[in-house]
Amino acid sequence: MTYTFFAGFVLVQFFMLGVGALGCRGFAHIARLSDAILIPSIFLLCVVGSYAIHNNVVEVVIMLIFGVIGYLARKFDLNAAAIVLGLILGPIGERGLRRSLLISDGDPSILFSTPLCWVLIALCVVGVLSPLLMERMERRMREGMES
């Protein structure tokens, strides 16, 4: 079964190569369109595609909400990879937390019961604080170079 998937991926790559080679001139013309035409067209296609999935306006509202979230994430310079990673790993972490609390009869001290737990907590804290620490280190390096 695994080889079938890989063979399918190889075939898709050749198909995409053909589509790209045949459509490159058309794609270049589309890319040259002004934003006044391109942005509303993409928005319209997104709305129609969202509605067409389940013929439900709720899907369009969800698409708009996530569009606003994406806009705000870009506006506040948030890392898109971290957001996607959080969306993927969040449910897995939630299941693990729920399982741990079930095992301990709801006692949250199980989360702090072993040295490994403390190492993981420390790594999480360092990961959350690392952008601030890196900014501070860069500022010190810049100040040191200016002196």
- The mean of the pLDDT values for the chain is 90
Give the C-alpha separation, 57 to 63, whole Å.
10
State residue 147's pLDDT score.
65
- Is 142:134 a contact under the CB 8 Å cutoff? no
- Is 87:77 a contact under the CB 8 Å cutoff? no
Q: Is the pLDDT at 46 greater than 90, yes or no? A: yes
* Its pTM surpasses 0.85: no
Q: Is the pLDDT at 87 greater than 90, yes or no? A: no
